[in-house]
Structure 1
């Protein structure tokens, strides 16, 4: 699925993970915890200011086959990382 930043920001997430001020690996652990709480089909978004998380979270989601990475939207200096739980 390929969505624009605007389309991503219009999604209504089921779970929002606040990871602003956190760094790896904590940003990844927070995202994985959010996905564990999610039900299949739920959209989880992690909000972070740590740019590395935009690489580690999608890679972990793909490697562990726990969701579908939908994309990243940048807004106000923060990254919104969208994943749909499978």
Structure 2
């Protein structure tokens, strides 16, 4: 269920993690660690500047049924990846 950028902007993240300056697989590990701490239904947002993470993180959480990808917002060379823990 992808949300619009406007809908994503109104979401309040339960956990926000910083992946700025990190590359794969570290960006994925950061997201997985945050999701492990999150409770089902909580929103995890990873902020990253690594564009490849916008593909690897959603693919990994979907494949492993860890989280639902709510959407990705791109702004000024940074990406916010919104995940909802299953």
Counting only pairs closer than 5 Å after superposition, residues 49-64 of structure 1 correspond to structure 2 as 49-64=49-64
SS at match of 2:29: helix
- 1:62-81 equivalences under 5 Å are 62-81=62-81
Residue ranges of structure 1 left out of the alignment (5+ in a row): none
Consecutive aligned runs of 4 or more in structure 1 exceeding 3 Å deviation: none
Q: Output the CA distance in 1 between the equivalents of 2:13 and 2:4.
A: 16
Describe the superposition over 1:12-47 as per-residue Cα deviations: whole angstroms up to 9, x where unpaired: 000001000100000000000000000000000000
Unaligned runs of 5+ in 2: none
**Cα distance in 1, alignment partners of residues 48 and 37 from structure 2:** 19
